[in-house]
Every structure is written in C-alpha cells, then in structure tokens.
Chain A
Amino acid sequence: MKLKLAKKNFIPFLQSLMDEYDLFAPVRLAEGASAYKKIDQPEEVDLSIRNPQKPAKEIFFPQSEIMFRYEKAGKENRITSTEEVKRNRVLLGARPCDIQAFALIDQVFAGKDYTDVYYLNKRKATTVIGMGCDGPLSTCFCSSLNGGPFQREGSDLFLTDLGESYLVELLTEKGMAFQKNKFFEKPTDKELAFAKAIEEKSAVKVKVSVPVDGIEKRLDEMVESPYWVRVQEKCLGCRVCTYLCPTCHCFDIVDEALTKKGRRVRNWDSCLSSLYSQETSGHNPRPTNRERTRQRLMHKFNYFPKNFDRIACVGCGRCIIYCPAHFDIRQTIKEIQKGGDT
C-alpha cells in the first residue's frame, strides 16, 4: 500500500507516533556528528542526515546495556533482569544498508541454541521505517553486497523523499497497522512516478563496483599470507571502523559494583583492541596488529560467510569515510581477490 505524508505534517505525525511508541530517529549531536537516539522532542528528528556515524543497530544492541541488576543480602544474591521491553518502538529513518545489517546480526543473536533475549525482545517490539537513499555517496557500495539504495527488505514501512512530502509504503503486517494514521493521504500518480524516477537515479549511482564473488575461497588460501603484514601497516588500531560498522557485534561483559548492589553490563568491544584476546595467563593469541587485522577482515569475508552464507558487510562506507589513516576496504577487497597483490 502506498500513502503520502506531507512534510508540513511531519512534526504532528512524529508526535502521533510518540504518543503510542518510543520513537528512535537520527539526531544531530553537533554540526558533523549524529546518531540514532530516543526522541524527546519531535523537532530533534533530522532526516536530512545522510547516514549517522553510529549505526542503527544501536536501537537493538545498545553500546552500553544493563543485563541485570543484583543485590546482595547476606550470603544471598537477588537478581533482576532488564530484558523486558516496556513499550513498543518505532525506528524511523534507517537506511537500507543499516537495515540489511539487522538481518545479519539476527543470525548471530537469534541462533537455535541460545537466544539473546535483550536483542530479540527489542527487535520484536520495533517497527522499522526505512528510508531510501536519494543521494548515495561515492563511498557507498551496498549494491555490491546484495543491497541497494532503495532496498525494502527488512523495512515495515519505507519512505521516499519527494521534496514537499514523503511517499510512505506499507510493506508488512506491522507496517499495515499504520494505515489508519490520520496524517497519511493518497499520493498522486505524478508523485508515484517521481518516486520511481528518484529510485532509478540512485540505483545508477551505486553500480556494482566491488568484486566480492569468491572472496571467501580466496581468503581460505591466504591465512598465513604475508599480505596481512603489509595491509595493516597504516592501521592505527584505533577501532573507529568497528564501532561505526553496522554488522560488528562483538561485546564485553563486566560487572559494575557498589558495595551491596550493582549490575552486569555489556559494552561494545572491538577485535582490534590489543587486549581483546589477552588471556589471564598473559598469553595473547593475537599479539600484533597483523593478527587482529586479519581477524577483522577474515571474520567479515570468510568466517561469517562460513557460518551464515552471507558476507558481514553491507557496503555503507562508514569505515572508509571515518578511518583516520584512510584505509579503504574496497581497495583491500580488490587486493585480496588478486591473492594479496598490492
């Protein structure tokens, strides 16, 4: 079903969402920095942001999350889990690349043996309103990884910016629940055609440019290659790429304690940290940046595909834009495909 939301109704529309749901949307934190946040004032929402630094996975997998609280009473412990999601949620304005990434992380956190209830409860409670990219960047390569600037997979509703209004497509059962929203109108044929034109223009911009076919097999042959020493020379191990990557899912679990009570918290972590694999004995299986960079690249393009048949990259380009040493993963992929020839 295709409906339309006039931009002059945007703020009251947001308010109508906030009356029923916890709303998460992109917010500008400073001139050049943004993230997805829980919205307190509808005016905070800024859908003109190309792609916030922090990926949308934060909504389901927060950077820092309490898992349970405990309280000591004598020799006993009382535990209260925080896994429950009290109110249903709407995620507004996520781009198709970030939404693709949800499907990848779902594979890790769902799993047949153990379910990560913290993540899954939030996933189940959230309606995803995706937004098409009418201005993809030259660093975007989603089309090379089964994605695209207007890919609708994973969205319950999907927005296209038409200038004066948004085209709103209701795609799933969850999405159809919004059809009665009083701010939605019927779009004209002209508007529908305009939306189609925007979509076609964007698709051309993000042509398939990064050769990922067969990269898993290539990497099988390169485990001990000298390439890993060369490729990481300029890498500072600064971890920006892992913290901004929509598909990275590594985390640390720690206890934060006061005397009698405290909580168990999980925080994002990065395989590029020097102490990531450090064992209490002092032994570190990944002692230098060579092993750690190899781990990162092989996890994305070899280990994850072995387990889940998908490459753990959605081509959002954040790692290319924000790396202080200007590491370009598209170049790395091409070099790997040539067997490590730089």
Chain B
Amino acid sequence: MSENMTHDPHVGIDKQITETLSLSRYLMSDRELNELIRLIHDSCGISLNSTKKSMLSARLGKRLRALGLPNFKEYYKYVQETLGQNDELVLLIDAVTTNTTHFFRENNHFDYLAHHALHKLHGDNDNIKVWSAGCSTGEEPYTIAMVLSDYFRHHPGDYRILATDICTSVLEKARQGIYESKELENIPPQYKYKYLMRGKGAQAGRWRIVPEIRKKVDFGRFNLVSDDYDIGGPFDVIFCRNVIIYFDAETNARLIDRFYRHLVPGGYLFIGHSETLTGKNEHFKSVAPTVYRKPEKYDSAVRRLAG
C-alpha cells in the first residue's frame, strides 16, 4: 500500500478501502496451496499446513496485487522464474513471516540474564557476545542491549549483539530504532529515559534508541535454515524465542544442534515460553524454564569419564 494512495482523492474510495483492508480477491486452489507450502518450507523452513490457507492467501494476496498478477497460479510460476527467484522470493518470505514482538517480552529471561547468566559468563570472559536470532523489529536486541549496558556500567568489560531476521522489512525498522510511544509501554522507566530519546517536531510522539545502544547492535538478514553458518561467534548467549514454533521437528533438531555448536562452553540459549528442547537436543542442560546451558568444558569432560 503506498502512502500516496491513502491520501489521493482521485483514486476511488472503494478501491482505496479494498486495498487498505487487503480484501482478498484471489482464490487459492488446493494444488496452489500445496505448491506454495512446499516452496515456503524449502526456502525458509516455515512449516505450514492446509489450516493456514486463509492466512497464506491474505498475506500473499498483497504480493499478487503489488505485482499485478491475476491469480496464485501465475504468482507461483513467477516465483519459479529466474527474475522471480531473485526479486520476489525475499518479498514472499517477508509476507509469510510473523513478526510479533515487544520490549522486555518474557521479562524473566532478562532478569535471569542480568542476575545469573552474566555473572557466570563474566568470570572468564570480559566481552560478551550475544546473538538475537529472529530479532524482528529490534525490540529484543535493544532490550538485551539495555540490560547489558546497565550491567557493564558496574562491571568491567563490554558486549556486542548480532541481531538477525529473515524478514527484510522488519530489519529496516530495527536498524532505525524508532518506535511509537505505545510500543514502549513495557520498558521500565529507568531504562526508557536513559536509553531512548524523545522525538520532537516531525518525530513528535516517537522515541529513538540512543546512538550508543544502536551502535552495539549489528543487524543483518539471515536464514536460519541455510547451510552457510558463517556469522561469527561463538556466542556467549543466543536468544531464539518464538521462532521454532514455525518449524517442523526435523528443522528444529538441526537448528538447535547448530545453536549448540555456536555457543561457548557454558553459554546460554533462551527460547520462547511456550517452547521446549525436550526431544530436540539432549546436550543442553535445562537451568530455568525455557533457559538452557551448554555444559562447561569441565562438565562434559566429567560426563565423558563417567559415561
């Protein structure tokens, strides 16, 4: 939906309303549904089934409209072509990803990080490296950055955060670090006034993350199911919350194994509150609800001797 369209009185109001509401004029056959489900699974790991037909049809309907294509059959054909693969696949994935997030979401994770994990990690490592995998619009990595900045005010050392998401549109917002007041309601006041700046003039009503926090976070597009895991590391902490709920068991087992290999011994993995590693990985130790730890070198040596 373009900004102009919203304000253009010459465009029929019925058309504007139709487009604003993304009213779906497109019907999806079962065959098209299955082809798209397979394509989505192969390109980004998201596992959908036929119960998501209306969601998929609504989300991709916008892409059909943007491209001026008449139906899903033509759309599927286009995405298979070279041009479509280059230009459209990224936008298709953008459209099918779910990006729900907010600041200090599942706050006990940040309590655990500040009061338990950092003390354990900090002993032998003054520089903490964190990966926010599935960072969406930036609320999670900036929350982590606020907690870590606060911690390192009282402790020697520093930190760096890598924040990745497969969806390109959320990364733009994340990089800018500008949020509406309403999006900040979960930030404790002592953090809000220290780590955000108030907008004025054209930016009145918005807030922006302060530059010293912004420069601590590197944002980039990353596909968690890709074969190329050349992303730096190892990390002391990995946050991957409310991501594995979209993947199937096989994809998750592979992903969790990769997280394990990209953590330092004694490193922490935080997953979403409704998620579990039970049956997905036997190496991680559960240290708190939805908080897991890779055994320290000593632990694994002992286990090997015992086993």
Partners in one complex: no
